[in-house]
């Protein structure tokens, strides 16, 4: 339905003094972030309608050999191919020529800004669905969910990147250990340095307190806080699209789930076409309507389970 005077009769009259236009700054909350954050999403451009990925392995452990005895040949495997199809996201808004000509209160400019804002929120909602949906929706190339106790490495071994338990300093240590001791695709030691801890808004204050206090949180003793001293660069981040209210998959444990990633993770956002807004003239429209067109083309997906761990928090 057009954004016209039928729905907004006062906008083309001087019957009112001004409109109140809704504005939001959800992503500007301290510690909050968006799908454009390179710590959480590997940011890549796409030149096609789908991205096809495979996991790539390691050569295996070096073995001791006797003098003049040939060393074993290394076998580096690749596999677990996965296709990530680019999705088109669009929203158009029609404006009758008469309304465009008669707008008295700047509603058209506000409408264009609102369309752009909703494009950004839609981008973030779909982006963070990769994290929240990693428990029961999104999979990696081995067909297991992103957060799973039973990932299959390319050498056939099983790797666990899923934890449980309500967030505390103790359960965070368990999650941290899953990441720093994570095996590689050849079953040998891999391990990753954590760079970002992602939580829903309800856990953000606790996460900052546990990980960034000078001294241990929740104790009466003046004990050193290991996390803030050893990992001073570890970022604590959040988004409203991780919580139970707005998360895309409707995950039951969204308010308790949390995630720890390294710089080596495979959670990726491929952008085929960045968010755009364009105004198309009324001259070629049968109904004499201006059209604000907005949209973007992208896809998020997990190239691998490596370098990231998640907890249900339950």
Q: Element (H or E) spanning 180, and its range?
A: helix 169-180
The list of the chain residues with pLDDT below 70 reads 1-23
Strands (DSSP E) contained in 40-170 are 42-45, 50-56, 78-85, 87-96, 151-152, 158-159, 162-163
Rg from Cα positions in the chain:
25
What are 1's two structure tokens?
């339905």
CA distances from 306 to 40, 57, 61, 310 (A): 13, 11, 19, 11
Is the Cβ–Cβ distance between 130 and 300 less than 8 Å? Answer: yes
What are 174's two structure tokens?
């368990």
Strands (DSSP E) contained in the chain are 42-45, 50-56, 78-85, 87-96, 151-152, 158-159, 162-163, 194-199, 235-238, 258-262, 267-280, 289-302, 308-311
Strands 151-152 and 162-163, by their bridges, are: unpaired
Strands 267-280 and 42-45, by their bridges, are: parallel
Question: Helix, strand, or coil here: 213?
Answer: coil
**pLDDT for residue 14:** 40
Q: How far apart are CA 185 and CA 190, in angstroms?
A: 8
**43-93 residue pLDDT tens:** 999 999 999 999 988 777 777 777 777 777 777 788 889 999 999 999 999
Size of the chain, expressed as the number of residues it contains:
314
**pLDDT for residue 176:** 98
**pLDDT for residue 4:** 52
């Amino acid at each position: 339905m057009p954004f016209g005077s039928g729905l907004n009769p006062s906008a083309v009259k001087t019957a009112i003094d001004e409109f109140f236009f809704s504005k939001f700054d959800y992503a500007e909350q301290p510690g909050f972030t968006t799908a454009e954050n390179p710590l959480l999403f590997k940011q890549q451009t796409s030149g096609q309608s789908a991205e096809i990925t495979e996991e790539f392995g390691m050569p295996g452990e070096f073995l001791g050999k006797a003098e003049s005895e040939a060393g074993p040949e290394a076998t580096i495997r690749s596999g677990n191919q996965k296709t990530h199809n680019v999705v088109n996201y669009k929203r158009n808004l029609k404006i009758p020529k008469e309304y465009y000509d008669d707008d008295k209160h700047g509603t058209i400019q506000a409408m264009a800004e609102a369309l752009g804002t909703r494009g950004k929120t839609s981008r973030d909602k779909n982006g963070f669905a990769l994290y929240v949906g990693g428990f029961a929706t999104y999979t990696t190339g081995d067909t297991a969910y992103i957060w799973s106790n039973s990932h299959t490495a390319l050498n056939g071994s099983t790797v666990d990147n899923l934890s449980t338990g309500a967030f505390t300093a103790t359960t965070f240590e368990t999650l941290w250990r899953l990441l720093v001791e994570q095996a590689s695709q050849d079953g040998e030691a891999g391990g990753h340095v954590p760079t970002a801890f992602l939580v829903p808004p309800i856990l953000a204050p606790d996460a900052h307190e546990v990980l960034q206090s000078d001294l241990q949180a929740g104790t009466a003793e003046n004990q050193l806080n290991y996390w803030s001293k050893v990992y001073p660069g570890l970022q604590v981040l959040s988004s409203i699209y991780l919580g139970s209210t707005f998360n895309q998959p409707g995950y039951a444990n969204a308010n308790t789930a949390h995630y720890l990633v390294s710089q080596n993770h495979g959670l990726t956002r491929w952008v085929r076409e960045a968010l755009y807004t364009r105004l198309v003239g009324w001259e070629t429209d049968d109904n004499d309507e201006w059209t604000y067109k907005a949209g973007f083309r992208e896809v998020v997906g997990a190239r691998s389970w490596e370098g990231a761990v998640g907890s249900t928090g339950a």
